[in-house]
Amino acid sequence: MYMTNKELYDYLGEHTVDNIPYLNAGEFKYVTDKYGKEVCRRTLADYIEQNPSKFPFNPISYEDMVKNFHKLCKVDYSKFLNHHPPRLMLTF
């Protein structure tokens, strides 16, 4: 069982953009060093769960959604697959 860190929760609340926690690289390193990765992860998850943001960020019409879905269906995904097996290297 874990507990949300109240101090970190409040810190996240003070560093938001449109109700989404935003930390720059320095702030992220500070909180992970101070509270630990697992506490940060759980506290961030609790913050997001308890303070939902507007989603999607940009409104999209139904027509645009259908059009984009059909374009996505036409993409040849085989171009993105790696057909070569990975090479194994033995090191001693």
User: What is the token pair recorded at 28?
Assistant: 């992220």
Q: Does residue 63 lie in a domain region?
A: no
Q: Does residue 28 lie in a domain region?
A: yes
User: What is the token pair recorded at 73?
Assistant: 């269906």
Mean pLDDT across 61-90: 84
Q: Which residues contact 34 (CB under 8 A, 6 or more apart)?
A: none
Q: Does residue 73 lie in a domain region?
A: no
Query: At which residue do the structure tokens 């984009």 appear?
Result: 68
Residues paired with residue 17 on neighbouring β-strands, in sequence order: 20
- Mapped onto helix, strand or coil, the DSSP state of residue 66 is helix
Lowest-pLDDT range of 8-12, 18-22, 40-44, 84-88: 84-88
Q: Does residue 44 lie in a domain region?
A: yes
Task: Give the integer Cα–Cα distance in Å for 49 and 46.
Answer: 5
Domain count, the chain: 1
**What domain range is 13 assigned to?**
6-50
